[in-house]
Structure 1
Amino acid sequence: MSTLITVGETPLRLSPPGNRRFVGSETARMTATGTESNVAIAAAALDADATWASKLPATQLGKRIVSELREYGIETDVSWTDEGRVGLEFRQPGVPPREPVIIHDRAGATAESMTPSDIPMDAVETADGVFASGSTAALSETAAETISAVLRAGGNGDDLAVFELDYRPRLWSPEAANDGLTPLLEHVDVLIATEDELRTVFGRTGDPREIAHGIASEWDLDMLAMTRGEYGALVIDDSVVHETESVEAETVDAAGQHDAFSGAFVQRLLDGDRPDEALAYGVAAATLTRTTPGPIPAFDRADVEGVVEQLQ
């Protein structure tokens, strides 16, 4: 069984029920919604020994996050503190032509002050893979430096240091993201991003394959995986591009699909699959996740493998 440690912030998402708006709603559903914790959950669903590590305030909201995440079969390693607060994300669903509304309230979140001393660095160094994302690095310079230290420590030898670009325009501008994330890439083995994120943050234009080749070459990445929405996904490995088509499915909630892709893709790489095989698992996991409500990628391995068969 492969071991994976993910490091980053997990806010609480508040959403009105169904497709209602906040105006006129008397209730809201509260759910943990962190990229790194979602990736751990997706990887654990495919039998990885997954741990999410972070820093949280020792409050009812902080404890609620840990309680919810443990229900999905992952371990948690949390540094508790009396300072800071839990970050919040307010998400109002959008039904065309109405666009979804997303409001980040993450200033002052405890993860802003997260340092390597708050993370189980010994476990990071011995894990088969480590994972972090740009949404945590966006919180503060301290958080970005911690993510850099995690990637550097986790990418030794045959272990994989995986980074998801996870660009959130409501957290920082493309220019700030480029400046903040570029130094991290020298410690990254595998980069995961959407096509739109790569174009926006790095100012790339042209064919998706050209973009993937250019970025992988510039930062000497072992591998780059790009999701392309309705056009499926691709992965570039040692200058060879593999592509997988998308799977048609009704979208109930798209929030956690990219995290599902990342978790499944990374887990299969850690278990020794070829990049093209791992890519199919990522697309299958993302497909299943967008058919269920909520941002957490809760799926069964058998269901994922059923969709993978459709892609073969």
Structure 2
Amino acid sequence: MAKVVTFGELMLRLAPPGYLRFTQADTFTATYGGGEANVAVSLANYGMDAAFVTKLPENDIGQAAVNSLRRYGVDVSKIVRGGPRVGIYYLEKGASQRPSKVIYDRAGASIALAQPGDFDWDSIFEGVSWFHFTGITPALGDNVAACCLEACKAAKAKNITVSCDLNFRKNLWTSEKAGQVMGQLMEYVDVCIANEEDAEKVFGIRAAATDVTTGKLNHDGYREVASKLKERFGFSKVAITLRTSISANDNKWAAMLYDGEDYYFSKSYDVHIVDRVGGGDSFGGGLIYALLAGKSSKDALEFAVAASCLKHSIEGDYNAVSVKEVETLAGGDGTGRVQR
């Protein structure tokens, strides 16, 4: 069985019940999540050997975060313990024309204080086939970016496939800084995942005749974006998720994949959203699984999009779906009828 390692931050998520606003809430529901951890959970649910690496404090909240992964079968044995705290993010769910809102309280988190040398990558990558990280992790600080570079170099030394979801976050760093840091890391990446805006915000590569605010997405423009990304960095594959936001509750969801020879566009799903956080991560997890499982480029894309479509119906960051459920949807059964 292929083994996958993901590396990043695991955060405590605090959210008001239902659609209450922060200012209305007197209780918050606590769950855990984070870009790379979400990918590891998806892969574990698909039956893969998935490990997540991070740094968490040696206290009960750190242990609760670890336990949230262990319950899904994620290998947590390489998590480093130490540092002062678990990062927190607060989520207020949007509805109709009111967008969701996220407030971060992650400064000084254990992973944000991690240093090169904290992680024994030679041991972590023993027997590993695939390594995944996102652009969120190096954005936590120059020291964490150095940890990512250290990991990428170690992965390449062992001929491990490396994937990265660009995941640009304007609240963490500027486009200029992101371009500099991610440009260096991309030298080691084989599979690049992005959304409609990432390539533009990080590398200045914009899809022509596209306006994500109004929902105007141009397929030819995204073919050009994928081609330019591959030309600049030599990726073996480029995947771009395509979201059309009708409202906070309803989106259209699709994606494209360029494998160096052909451009594939998935079917489009009309999604009524229960929880959209982790949607992109579930796409990444689905794509990694499908490629490792030997699916064709087209079938891998359809699996990843279907997996992500289902995630939008699930509370929390983690995508709690099975291979069978994803393949049923990818095969055309999206009726949502009761299964008996």
TM-score bracket for this pair, using the shorter chain length: over 0.9
Shift of 1:116: 4.6
What letter corresponds to residue 176 of structure 2 in structure 1?
E
Number of residues of Structure 1 aligned to a counterpart in Structure 2? 310
The more displaced of 104-113 and 279-288 is: 104-113
Which whole-Å CA distance do the structure 2 matches of 1:200 and 1:271 have between them?
Answer: 32
Alignment correspondent of 2:151: 150
Which whole-Å CA distance do the structure 1 matches of 2:90 and 2:222 have between them?
Answer: 32
Which whole-Å CA distance do the structure 2 matches of 1:242 and 1:150 have between them?
Answer: 31
Map residues 50-199 of structure 1 onto 2, 5 A cutoff. 50-76=50-76, 77-81=78-82, 83-121=83-121, 122-124=123-125, 126-156=127-157, 159-199=160-200
TM-score (norm 1): 0.95
Alignment correspondent of 1:245: 267
Q: In the TM superposition, what whole-angstrom CA distance separates every residue of 1:251-303 from its partner, at most 9, and x where no partner exists?
A: 11111111111011011212222222211111011010001121211112211
The more displaced of 265-274 and 54-63 is: 265-274
Which whole-Å CA distance do the structure 2 matches of 1:166 and 1:195 have between them?
Answer: 10
The more displaced of 179-188 and 228-237 is: 228-237
Structure 1 alignment gaps of length 5 or more: none
Contact 1:126–1:154 (8 Å) recurs in 2:
no
Shift of 1:149: 1.7
Which whole-Å CA distance do the structure 2 matches of 1:60 and 1:171 have between them?
Answer: 27
Residue 303 (1) aligns with residue 325 (2): yes
Shift of 1:115: 3.6
SS class of match (1:310): coil
Which whole-Å CA distance do the structure 1 matches of 2:146 and 2:55 have between them?
Answer: 15
Residue 49 (1) aligns with residue 49 (2): yes
The more displaced of 28-37 and 266-275 is: 266-275
What letter corresponds to residue 279 of structure 1 in structure 2?
L
Alpha-carbon distance change, 43 to 33 in structure 1, aligned in 2, over 3 angstroms: same
Alpha-carbon distance change, 273 to 70 in structure 1, aligned in 2, over 3 angstroms: same
Shift of 1:142: 1.0
TM-score (norm 2): 0.87
Give the structure with the larger helix fraction.
Answer: 1
Q: CA RMSD in A?
A: 1.6
Which whole-Å CA distance do the structure 2 matches of 1:56 and 1:231 have between them?
Answer: 34
What letter corresponds to residue 241 of structure 2 in structure 1?
T
SS class of match (1:117): coil
SS class of match (1:186): helix
Alignment correspondent of 1:4: 4
Contact 1:125–1:154 (8 Å) recurs in 2:
no
Contact 1:124–1:150 (8 Å) recurs in 2:
no
Q: 2:240 aligns with which of 194, 217, 226?
A: 226
Alpha-carbon distance change, 275 to 153 in structure 1, aligned in 2, over 3 angstroms: farther
The more displaced of 47-56 and 174-183 is: 174-183
Which whole-Å CA distance do the structure 1 matches of 2:308 and 2:256 have between them?
Answer: 14
Which whole-Å CA distance do the structure 2 matches of 1:194 and 1:118 have between them?
Answer: 31
